[in-house]
Amino acid sequence: MLSRAVQSYLAVRRATGYTLKGVGLHLRSFAAFSDACGQRYVNTQTAIEWARQAPSVSQRARRLATVARLARYLQAEDARHEIPPPVFGREHRPRRPPFILSDEQISQLIQLAAQSGYRTLRRQTYSTLFALLSCTGLRISEAIRLRYQDITSDGLVIRATKFRKSRLVPLHETARAGLERYLQKRRPYALFDDHVFISLRRKPLREADVDTAFRTVVAKMGLPTGRRQRHPTPHSLRHAFAVRALQTCPDGREHITKHMLMLSTYLGHSNAGMTYWYLEAVPELMRDIAERSEAHLTGAAP
């Protein structure tokens, strides 16, 4: 039965560090569907029929791709397993170009956050949080999980993040001073919670809280907020940090390689390809690449 094969596959991949919560649910559902159809091996038509149950084409494509990876694993030992073709299209749609905030817009955003809402800790919480995201490139989830003990003399300790990695993020002395000013006001507010950023409920911030506060400030700035148009999100602060870091990269292949590797590690990317994506996602960086390529081909000085 396929159920046992699925459990074996999941166990092997989880042993390499993957959590596979959603994938596990989908594969167990597929195994049950196949078992009900009397299929002992991955069958292309059965896989397509199971994937077709998803409500959208993109979800169907992801489901079928999940089964295809299972089939490749199983086919290595038994050729009777069939690898279904991507009849619903690509599993991953192209990433949308990021909304890159300028330095002036970031300064205005932080200033407005310090003036928005009631005259309570909320103002300091969001202005400090947005400033920290901007100068460190942290993910929102990483910032709101920070605890007192994560602030060290060497920087911020980011523990077991998106890809189950931990890393150290250095802090500039100005960022450290701003964070300490906030903590002096925050510590008496919720004595029994050691999360750095907390809400007015004296609980750790939620991503939904951050998103709401960010959209409120962005609307005051007159920036786009509609879901159907490119608009800034809290993650735009991380994007802006990455782009600024790339713009400071020195010339020379060796320098670029080292710079990209360091930036990828600093941002906590699982592979450098995620960092290189910014080169094609931002027009300013693409223009710089085009100018240097043209200079190289013509023999002119860059």
DSSP character string of the chain = -HHHHHHHHHHHHHHTT---HHHHHHHHHHHHHHHHTT-SS--HHHHHHHHTTSSSHHHHHHHHHHHHHHHHHHHTT-TTS-----TT--SSPPPPPP-PPPHHHHHHHHHHHTTSSSSSHHHHHHHHHHHHHHHH---HHHHHT-BGGGEETTEEEE-S-TTS--EEE---HHHHHHHHHHHHHHTTT-TT--BSSB-TTSSB--HHHHHHHHHHHHHHHT----TTS----TTHHHHHHHHHHHHTPPSSHHHHHHHHHHHHHHHT-SSTHHHHHHHHH-HHHHHHHHHHHHHHHHT---
* pLDDT at res. 41: 94
Is 81 part of any domain?
Answer: no
* pLDDT at res. 256: 67
Of the listed 139, 145, 186, 195, which one is catalytic?
Answer: 139
* pLDDT at res. 107: 95
* pLDDT at res. 245: 83
Do residue 248 and residue 229 come from a single domain?
Answer: no
**Which of 75, 92, 114 is the endpoint of a domain?**
75
Per-residue pLDDT for 98 more than 70? Answer: yes
Residue 197 token pair: 């950023």
Highest average pLDDT, of 89-93, 175-179, 298-302, comes from 175-179
* pLDDT at res. 263: 79
Per-residue pLDDT for 287 more than 80? Answer: no
Q: Tens digit of pLDDT for each residue in 197-243?
A: 998 888 899 999 999 999 999 999 999 877 777 889 999 999 888 88
* pLDDT at res. 295: 65
* pLDDT at res. 293: 63
Greater model confidence, 87 or 251 = 87
Is 90 part of any domain?
Answer: no
Do residue 110 and residue 206 come from a single domain?
Answer: yes
Is 87 part of any domain?
Answer: no
User: Which phi and psi angles does 122 have, rounded to 5°?
Assistant: -55, -40
Do residue 139 and residue 195 come from a single domain?
Answer: yes
Do residue 111 and residue 217 come from a single domain?
Answer: yes
Of the listed 9, 126, 266, 278, which one is catalytic?
Answer: 278
**How many domains does the chain contain in total?**
3
Which residue range(s) make up the domain with 207? 103-235
Average pLDDT in the 23-37 region?
Answer: 93
Provide the greatest CA pair distance for the chain.
69
**Which of 180, 205, 235 is the endpoint of a domain?**
235
Confidence of residue 249 (pLDDT cuts 50, 70, 90): confident
- 41 is an active site residue: no
Per-residue pLDDT for 290 more than 70? Answer: no
For the chain, percent of residues with pLDDT exceeding 70: 84
- 235 is an active site residue: yes
The set of residues, in sequence order, having a beta carbon less than 8 Å from that of 258 and lying 6+ positions away, is none
**Which of 182, 209, 235 is the endpoint of a domain?**
235
Q: Tens digit of pLDDT for each residue in 186-195?
A: 988 888 889 9
Do residue 56 and residue 111 come from a single domain?
Answer: no
- 187 is an active site residue: no
Do residue 139 and residue 157 come from a single domain?
Answer: yes
Per-residue pLDDT for 96 more than 90? Answer: no
* pLDDT at res. 205: 92
Do residue 216 and residue 250 come from a single domain?
Answer: no
Is 88 part of any domain?
Answer: no
Do residue 262 and residue 189 come from a single domain?
Answer: no
* pLDDT at res. 289: 59
Average pLDDT in the 113-135 region?
Answer: 90
Of the listed 40, 162, 164, 230, which one is catalytic?
Answer: 162
Handedness of CA 43, 45, 49, 51 (dihedral sign): positive
**Average pLDDT, rounded, for the chain:** 86
Average pLDDT in the 270-289 region?
Answer: 66
Average pLDDT in the 6-16 region?
Answer: 89
Going by DSSP bridges, is the β-strand pair 155-158/151-152 parallel, antiparallel, or unpaired?
antiparallel
Is 266 part of any domain?
Answer: yes
Of the listed 235, 244, 259, 276, which one is catalytic?
Answer: 235
Do residue 124 and residue 55 come from a single domain?
Answer: no
- 18 is an active site residue: no
* pLDDT at res. 294: 65
Question: What CATH number has the domain bearing residue 174?
Answer: 1.10.443.10
CA-closest candidate to residue 132, choices 77, 80, 83, 181:
181
Average pLDDT in the 79-94 region?
Answer: 87
* pLDDT at res. 182: 94
Do residue 225 and residue 244 come from a single domain?
Answer: no
Its pTM stands at 0.70
- 92 is an active site residue: no
- 269 is an active site residue: yes
* pLDDT at res. 214: 94
Is 84 part of any domain?
Answer: no
Do residue 228 and residue 141 come from a single domain?
Answer: yes
Is 60 part of any domain?
Answer: yes
Do residue 219 and residue 274 come from a single domain?
Answer: no
Is 91 part of any domain?
Answer: no
Of the listed 26, 145, 186, 269, which one is catalytic?
Answer: 269
